[in-house]
Amino acid sequence: MARFLLLLLALLLLLAGGSATNISYDHRAIIIGGQRRILISGCLHYPRASPQMWPALIRNAKEGGLDMIDTYVFWDGHEPSPGIYNFQGRYDLIRFLKLVHQAGLYVNLRIGPYVCAEWNFGGFPAWLLKLPGIQFRTHNRAFEDKMEEFVRKIVDMVKSEQLFASQGGPVLFSQIENEYGNVQGSYGTNGKTYMLWAARMAKDLETGVPWIMCKQPDAPDYIINTCNGYYCDGWKPNSRDKPAMWTENWSGWYQLWGEAAPYRTVEDVAFAVARFFQRGGVAQNYYMVRMLHDLEQHLLMPERCQYFGGTNFGRTSGGPFITTSYDYDAPLDEFGMLRQPKWGHLKELHAALKLCETALTSNDPLYYTLGRMQEMVQAHVYSDGSLEANFSNLATPCAAFLANIDTSSASVKFGGNVYNLPPWSVSILPDCRNVVFNTAQVSAQTSVTKMVAVQKPSLIEEVSGSYTPGLVEQLAWEWFQEPVGGSGINKILAHALLEQISTTNDSTDYLWYSTRFEISDQELKGGDPVLVITSMRDMVHIFVNGEFAGSTSTLKSGGLYARVQQPIHLKAGVNHLAILSATVGLQNYGAHLETHGAGITGSVWIQGLSTGTRNLTSALWLHQVGLNGEHDAITWSSTTSLPFFQPLVWYKANFNIPDGDDPVAIHLGSMGKGQAWVNGHSLGRFWPAITAPSTGCSDRCDYRGTYYSSKCLSGCGLPSQEWYHVPREWLVNEKNTLVLLEEIGGNVSGVSFASRVVDRVCAQVSEYSLPPVAQFSSLPELGLSCSPGQFISSIFFASFGNPKGRCGAFQKGSCHALESETIVEKACIGRQSCSFEIFWKNFGTDPCPGKAKTLAVEAACTEAVDSAPTLVRT
Ligand SMILES: *[C@@H]1O[C@H](CO)[C@@H](O)[C@H](O)[C@H]1NC(C)=O
Ligand SMILES: *[C@@H]1O[C@H](CO)[C@@H](O)[C@H](O)[C@H]1NC(C)=O
Ligand SMILES: *[C@@H]1O[C@H](CO)[C@@H](O)[C@H](O)[C@H]1NC(C)=O
Ligand SMILES: *[C@@H]1O[C@H](CO)[C@@H](O)[C@H](O)[C@H]1NC(C)=O
Ligand SMILES: *[C@@H]1O[C@H](CO)[C@@H](O)[C@H](O)[C@H]1NC(C)=O
Ligand SMILES: *[C@@H]1O[C@H](CO)[C@@H](O)[C@H](O)[C@H]1NC(C)=O
């Protein structure tokens, strides 16, 4: 094995302090200070949460069994203008790295600086476009110089804070570029030259920790190339000297405006992760992952697995058209709360994998097929290699993974024992004999959250991800009507239609194009004409003589650019045409991003005049960058009547915040499209006016079988996002200010604030469930926990016997221990959490001797107010 070792750092020896860690790897392990490790990593992008949220997110990631946090570094956020850096607030990278370090976790620092990440322009600052001759992500001085400058800046900062693991810090890996292998071919030989330049440039920065390139099959020897895939089992790096590491594959998983929300069962997520380690994985990262599942048939299987997604605040969402919520159905939800049972089940999986670490890191697995169905039940055994085919003589260490990749259950003999494997599941045997975990057996509790309206008294309930707003007090609104066409702020006149990004420098979503033209009576004889824009992106709102005529977006056109044909009404004489072009997140994926452009990228004509077509392309156009409201050119009013369903209205209201520490959200489901700010912080874009298709959703998702991104959807027929996260950090105790910009018309009466809390918790565990991994070989256990600051206030359901149904709809079966409720109430009411060992003696008399029994409980969580709860029933 020694010959595989890649020694990274003679340099380390020179570092004083003794805290420096020697990091190396071979194809079976990441070797940290001499210890052979497998690593479980989760993505947590620091600017997608507020700094106040970071400590709890990191703590919950650690408690969930993660070893490493994976984050991109966001160039556009850190260098908003050339040479002007921002490392404050959500962009305080060093503070974030230090917090991760304090928590005892490692970091995979994916510097990029192209990051994709569903982030605006893939992380590129728009000012790069101003550099003459620049081409992104290929061999040219303009780009390479700026890229190197930024990467060097980040590496120097991390180094000077002693944050690389080689210096005793948490940064174990860094990534250069991102999925370049996917686009390299589009750049000809310059692509390869650039890739090799980037690799060499990174290496020469001498971080002392390994560099990674994901999806880069031709990465040079000193770089680890990693797998980005739906299921990464079966994937191999390009050299036996390298460990199999799984980073991510971004495509097909994020949510666009107007789409239903994809979700993935925890059984299947756990299956994919377990399969990766079963088949030789060393480091895995929760992100969206997809890959070739290399069964004989090479099925393509999608999945998503961000550990915490968070929020695309401000104008950071990419796309175009990526939603503001970046929740991802992740183990930690957008608000930072545990998503249960996902978080808890994966925690068990991680604990089971850790029990296998010594065996996993010592050798390649031996592979066996079991059972009658060829290849459908697979065993992978990690041992010292001397394992006998008949298992009479198990070596130590020894760990085995038994996978049933069939959609029905299987019973197989392995090492002389019989194992029952649920469909589409992996059992983990850290000693090659005893199953400690099965991916399809979920004992972790389910938590049901709700939104509690701030303006008392009603509740807004979340039911399977959808929400129904309750009655709330009205906010007192002021408003301002944005002038159509702008009012000439920073006006740019041209006999042409200017490309949007180079005109606005992406400082705003908006660019007005307005012009005046004369039409005679004669020309209007043919009836109402049609305005044609031959090519535009991402969206235009068209106004004629101050009146809104219509909007077109490229969202559902299937292409990057769309043609607009808008019937308009003209009058004889001078007409005023004003087109508001709006970007909705700059493209984040693909080659040649710098060539895309936005706004009106074609010609503008008026068709259907009795004299034919009037070409306005070279008319005198007045361009205004941004809206008056964005330039603070606003005169608020509250005397005229409050505008409803009017385009281009700014609204403002003051509000007080909900008490406590629960996450806060604003309901914008009644609005059209626009942006929202609280106390000057942008919450992001909203667009509830566009709804998801009404079909394709399922209430229940069959975890079995190949996953694909449209397999399990929720929110059909509803806006993609009605609730928007308002970080507590941005709120003050009294008199917060909300500002909304409405582009197309909405109903501000439906706007309200709520806090998000856990409402109910449920769990269901049987006598034959596996005991918690950490308590190897004890009894199965049912645990219930409300959030910190809450207590269990009542038990809706408790039955030890053969209860039926699921959370929210449990029912007693024919077998029921009469004392179930009393026993559960006694143990749980008034407490934040409670747990039960599943054994009949704990529930009085055996309600049905000889039969397998299950305990199912559903309990209510309530916010602990000032005094201790006194709700204990007798
Ligand atoms: C680092 O670890 C490797 C493998 O464990 C070992 O061979 C090497 O000598 C170590 N290097 C230093 C500088 O300690
Ligand atoms: C994601 O992975 C699949 C399968 O490996 C591949 O075909 C696809 O091109 C990848 N997409 C991206 C964006 O990397
Ligand atoms: C199992 O393998 C061992 C070692 O190869 C052998 O001695 C033993 O007879 C085998 N047992 C059976 C039941 O095949
Ligand atoms: C965009 O950038 C150019 C060059 O850096 C500058 O001259 C121009 O004023 C900027 N425009 C806006 C709207 O920021
Ligand atoms: C309109 O004018 C533009 C530029 O002046 C030209 O490129 C375009 O072809 C013209 N379109 C028509 C339909 O005449
Ligand atoms: C606007 O929203 C309020 C509150 O949800 C609702 O009562 C009212 O009917 C809505 N108005 C319209 C025209 O939809």
- Residue closest to 857 by CA, chosen among 814, 787, 805: 805
DSSP secondary structure of 224-257: EEEB-SSS-TT---SSTTS--EE----TT-S-BT
CA distance 400 to 391: 12
Tell me which residue of 239, 189, 248 sits closest to 218, measured CA to CA: 239
pLDDT of 680 reads 96
Select which of 144, 179, 482, 523 is catalytic: 179
CA 541-543-544 angle, 5° bins: 155
Q: What is the largest CA-CA distance in the chain?
A: 99
Please confirm, yes or no, whether 630 is among the known catalytic residues: no
Q: Which of 607, 615, 621 to mutate to test the pocket of ligand 5 (most atoms within 8 A of CB)?
A: 615
Query: One of 79, 118, 248, 594 is an active-site residue; which one?
Result: 248
3-state secondary structure 3-69: HHCCCCCCHHHHCCCCCCCCEEECCCCEEECCEEECEEEEEECHHHCCHHHHHHHHHHHHHCCCCEE
Length of the chain: 874
Residue identified by tokens 């695309």 is: 312
Beta strands 211-214 and 171-176 are parallel
Alpha helices in 609-738 (DSSP H): none
Please state, in angstroms and rounded to a whole number, the distance separating the CA atoms of residues 801 and 799: 6
Contact at 8 Å (CB) between 137 and 143? Answer: yes
Query: Over the range 533-568, which residues count as b (16 or more CB within 10 Å of their CB) and which as e?
Result: bbbbbbbbbbbbbeebbbbbbbbeeeebbbebebeb
Q: Which DSSP category does 129 fall into? A: G
- Reported as a single tens digit per residue, the pLDDT across 276-302 is 888 776 655 543 222 222 221 222 222
618: Cβ below 6 Å to ligand 5? yes
Sign of CA dihedral 416, 421, 424, 426: negative
Q: In 3D, which of 290, 260, 265 has the Cα closest to residue 276?
A: 290
Distance CA 673, CA 669 (A): 10
Phi–psi pair at 184, nearest 5 degrees: -50, -40
Ligand 4 centroid vs 502 CA: distance in angstroms?
Answer: 8
The tokens for 308 are 């915490």
Expressed in angstroms and rounded, the spacing between residue 338 Cα and the centre of ligand 2 is 29
Q: What is the pLDDT of residue 823?
A: 97
Does 31-362 match 450-456+473-481+632-755 in CATH topology?
A: no
The model carries a pTM of 0.90
**Residue whose CA lies nearest to ligand 1 atom number 12:** 22
d(CA 49, CA 57): 9
Taking alpha carbons only, the member of 422, 272, 418 closest to residue 349 is: 272
Superfamily of domain 491-626: Galactose-binding domain-like (2.60.120.260)
**Closest ligand to 215 CA?**
2
Helix, strand, coil share (%) of the chain residues, nearest 5: 20, 30, 50
What ligand is nearest to the CA atom of residue 116? 2
Is 837 annotated as catalytic? Answer: no
Tell me the sheet residues that pair with 739: 652, 677
Q: Identify which ligand lies nearest to the alpha carbon of 496.
A: 5
- Token couple for 739: 């500002």
> CA-CA distance, 746 to 719, in Å (whole number)?
13
Q: How far apart are CA 467 and CA 118, in angstroms?
A: 26
Query: Is residue 804 within 6 Å of ligand 4 at its C-beta?
Result: no
Helices 141-160 and 93-102: crossing angle, nearest 10°?
A: 40
Is residue 379 within 8 Å of residue 340, measured between CB atoms? no
Among residues 455, 443, 581, which one has the least CA distance to residue 511? 581
Q: What is the pLDDT of residue 238?
A: 55
> What are the 10-residue block averages of pLDDT along the chain, 874 residues in total?
33 42 80 89 94 98 94 97 98 98 96 93 97 97 98 98 96 91 92 96 94 80 64 52 48 74 89 83 45 22 62 96 93 96 96 93 83 80 65 74 93 90 96 94 96 58 40 76 93 97 96 97 91 97 97 88 96 97 94 95 96 96 97 90 95 86 94 98 97 92 85 93 97 92 95 93 96 83 95 97 96 96 97 96 93 97 64 37
Residue in this structure with the two tokens 């088949």, named with its chain if needed: 279
pLDDT at 457: 36
Determine the distance separating the centroid of ligand 2 and the alpha carbon of 300, expressed in angstroms: 10
Are β-strands 833-837 and 781-785 bridged in parallel, bridged antiparallel, or unpaired? antiparallel
Residue with CA closest to ligand 2 atom 9: 182
The pair of structure tokens assigned to 681 is 């912080």
Q: Up-side HSE of residue 570: CA atoms within 13 Å toward CB? A: 31
DSSP state of 713: E
Alpha helices in 371-506 (DSSP H): 500-504
31-362 CATH choice from 1.20.1050.10, 3.20.20.80, 3.20.20.70, 3.40.50.2000: 3.20.20.80
Q: What is the CATH number of domain 758-863?
A: 2.60.120.740
Q: Which atom of ligand 2 is nearest to the CA of 300?
A: 4
Cα–Cα distance between 516 and 606 in angstroms, integer? Answer: 13
**Three-state SS at 365:** coil
370, β-bridge pairs: 377
Assign domain 450-456+473-481+632-755 to a CATH class.
mainly beta
Atom of ligand 4 nearest to the CA of 625: 13
Task: Report the nearest-CA residue for atom 9 of ligand 1.
Answer: 7
The pLDDT assigned to 705 comes to 87
Domain boundaries, the chain: 31-362, 366-385+394-438, 450-456+473-481+632-755, 491-626, 758-863
**Contact by Cβ (8 Å): 752, 675:** no
Sheet holding 23-25: strands in order across?
Answer: 23-25, 30-32, 35-37
CA quadruple 590, 591, 593, 595: dihedral sign: negative
Residue closest to 346 by CA, chosen among 326, 336, 331: 331
Partners of 299 in beta bridges: 293
At 381, which helix (H) or strand (E)? strand 377-382
